[in-house]
Amino acid sequence: MAIDKNAIKEHIRGLLIALGDDPDREGLKETPDRVARMYEEVFAGMNYSNEEIAHMFAKSFTDDFSAANDSDDIVLVKDIDIFSYCEHHLALMYDMQVSVAYIPKGRVLGLSKIARIADMAAKRLQLQERIGADIAEIMTIASGSDDIAVIIKGCHSCMSARGIKKEQASTVTTTFTGRFKNDVNLQNKLYMMLNH
């Protein structure tokens, strides 16, 4: 599904009118176009399914060591900065950091691909919980591993700028699949790595 920039421009113009402003005044004349271009960028992930994203970023390399030793070695990329927009209020989710871990199964992903997967999964109307589930699903497809862990910490402007207005509140979510889901020793090893 392609983002319809013309429809966005039309609706943003209508929104400006609904807010009681004049979309033809100097400061707002180009706002519908600017917003449409911004939305095309910040919602780029909406153009692709999880499977399509996985195939875009599936560049991997043979990992002879872990394949030969049936290893529990963890690959962890932590503190990946992302942002997203809450599907409930279209409000910004900000100061978000994602940590993604997996146990390779004969292949390892290029490290930048993991960051790109996290970034693209966030560029949708989202819930923080779903971002974690989407990243885990994409990682499984891209890496061939069922053993995925995704931990996200972020702030939500729907809590900090409106409603209850708790500026310091942050939300932490986890998504564990495969051995990460039930193996306490593996979880402990992961948490130890996260704290270094």
Which active-site residues does the annotation give?
A: 86-89, 128, 156, 158
**Residue 177 backbone zone (phi > 0: left; psi -120 to 50: alpha; other: beta):** beta
| Whether 173 contacts 129, CB under 8 Å | yes
| Whether 53 contacts 117, CB under 8 Å | yes
Residue 65's closest CA among 78, 76, 75?
75
SS3 content of the chain, % helix, strand, coil (to 5): 45, 25, 30
Distances (CA, A) of 135 to 13, 14, 116, 139: 34, 35, 10, 6
Three-class SS of 161-195? CCCCCCCCCCEEEEEECCHHHHCHHHHHHHHHHHC
